Amino acid sequence: MTLSLGDLSITPPVLLAPLAGVTDLPFRSLVSRWGAGLVVSEMIASGEFLTARPGTREKAELGAGGANTSVQIAGRAPEPMAEAARRVADMGARVIDINMGCPAKKVTGGYSGSALMRDPDHALRLIDAVANAVDVPVTLKTRLGWDDATRNAPDLARRAESAGVRMLVIHGRTRCQFYKGRADWAAIRDVVDAVSVPVVANGDITSAATARAALRLSGAAGVMIGRGARGAPWRLAEIAHALYGAPAPEIPQGAARAEIAKEHYQDMIRFYGPDLGGRCARKHLGWYMDAAGTPPELRRLVLTQTQPARVCALLDDALNRPDAEASDTASASPGKAVAATGKAVAA
């Protein structure tokens, strides 16, 4: 199955969600290598993006021109949003996504993200400005609404489609839910019924089973994976294989998994530099170790070590564990767990 956005085909329709502090270039590159229809960058605040020091924007968005990369922007004023969209498009972005779903207080407090669902007229001004500023496809990510009393995603979706939005991603929660409870995939169907453009379901999709359920209940054309990919950059490829017959990923186990984690860590060191890269990598290393059942003492030792060579040596012990394979693959769709290449093989 394929989602079409202008001349861009999203195959398979399994997308990586934008996660602040997670979906940076090293992680997006790793997920893309395993296999994903589209990967979305971390959110860019349009105002900060436009006033950043020379070189900061380029590094933050390095890789924007990747064939399967979308760049997400956020803001509260039409003019900066439009200008940020133009600059991102000039840097090579194939798709620009508008964030109207982030629930974080520091974002909604600035009248951005999901706070815009409280003022649909103003939200449409931003959408119009971005859609009219660029020639590349513009997409929109929202939640169901601000709270249960104002589930206005279907109406906003209709208006966004009229303004030129080519695809919608709906997280099946309201802003006031944050990440509590369970995503309401069935409620996404109201958005699907309201528009003719593709709608992608998001929220609590962590395996082939949950992806199937989300598609069945929502009627969506695809799924977006966020937290389910943490510590498992092959997760999107697993789901794509199970749902759409895409090539089966080689799922690393034991020593092979340790090699993937070390490669990811070293990529982050190169991208950010030793100090910042080491700090940014800790969360990822923690997720790899959580999946492997690493003992708490060894986990703590890895995450408090500051010497890259020592971190890599410790990861061999932390991730090359005989019980890791069963614990990690029990909740995922079948794959071919034989190597650490991060490449797909024929099913």
Which residue ranges are tagged as binding site for FMN?
72, 141, 171, 226-227
Going from the C-alpha of 120 to that of each of 114, 128, 195, 324, the distances in angstroms are: 11, 12, 16, 47
Distances (CA, A) of 217 to 23, 63, 66, 189, 208: 27, 35, 32, 7, 14
Which residue intervals of the chain are DSSP H helices?
Answer: 25-34, 46-51, 56-60, 78-90, 105-108, 120-133, 153-163, 189-194, 208-218, 235-244, 255-272, 274-292, 296-304, 308-319, 324-329
Q: Which amino acids are annotated as binding site, given as ranges? A: 72, 141, 171, 226-227
- 217 CA to centre of own chain: 21
Q: Which of 102, 176, 280, 312 is catalytic?
A: 102
What residue has token string 């030792």?
301
d(CA 17, CA 224): 6
In one letter, which amino acid is 248? A
Catalytic site includes residue 102: yes
CB 255 within 8 A of CB 337: no
Name the amino acid, one letter, at 88: V
302 neighbors 311 (Cβ within 8 angstroms):
yes
Tell me the two tokens of residue 75: 């803001």
Task: Report residue 61: phi and psi, to 5°.
Answer: -110, 15
Which residues are marked as active site?
102
